[in-house]
Chains A and B, each alone.
Chain A
Amino acid sequence: KAGVTQTPRYLIKTRGQQVTLSCSPISGHRSVSWYQQTPGQGLQFLFEYFSETQRNKGNFPGRFSGRQFSNSRSEMNVSTLELGDSALYLCASSPGQNNEKLFFGSGTQLSVL
């Protein structure tokens, strides 16, 4: 069974641009969560989707948004990029909505110049 796939693996953008990151969960998994990881802040929860509905949201500005499609694939979008958005963005999938076990992808490393 293929694991969680995130694309692209690396991204370089400039301030003010927008970016879209993609996540394909493990087949059969319906819950997808997104996390931002930085050396000083650890894993910060962005949002979680289950069956195309946003279940939970972290404390990030409205520039961060996401969605989930009917095939459970998910995208997150960051508009008007800032230098502080440079981070590793991790996607995790889980079979059900109780998040009893998260399976992480390798992440997208975003650098904002």
Chain B
Amino acid sequence: GQQVMQIPQYQHVQEGEDFTTYCNSSTTLSNIQWYKQRPGGHPVFLIQLVKSGEVKKQKRLTFQFGEAKKNSSLHITATQTTDVGTYFCAGIGSYDKVIFGPGTSLSVIP
């Protein structure tokens, strides 16, 4: 069945450093979503990418969708302590089924 992978599993960065998490799907996706879950909280929707090669920015966050629509990345520039949490990608495949990746847990050292 459809699988979504994410790397790295954990990332520790000094405040001000950049951070990138990568997402790969075993199948072509109709679109991909990114969510953030703060410690003790629930996942919160960040963005959806639909088009092949699409790039979207939200302040310090840059999201990319691969040309083959099988991979994606999230890049955070100059991390802040408020960026702490787990970042999940979610692939939308057949029948609009939403499959989440295992997440990348980000720690920011002040």
Contact = CB atoms under 8 A, between A and B. Distances in A.
Interface of A: 33, 35, 41-45, 48, 55-56, 59, 90, 92, 97-107
Contacts of A98: 92, 96
Nearest to B103: A42
Interface of B: 1, 31, 33, 35, 41-45, 48, 88, 90, 92, 95-103
Contact of B33 (A59, A90, A102, A105): A102
- Interface majority SS (helix, strand, loop, mixed), chain A: strand
Contact of A59 (B1, B48, B98): B1
Contact of B100 (A35, A55, A59): A35
Contacts of A99: 92, 96-98
Nearest to B40: A106
Nearest to A97: B96
A104 B43 contact: yes
A108 to B, nearest CB: 11
11 contacts: A42-B101, A42-B103, A43-B88, A43-B103, A44-B100, A48-B97, A92-B43, A101-B48, A103-B45, A104-B43, A107-B42
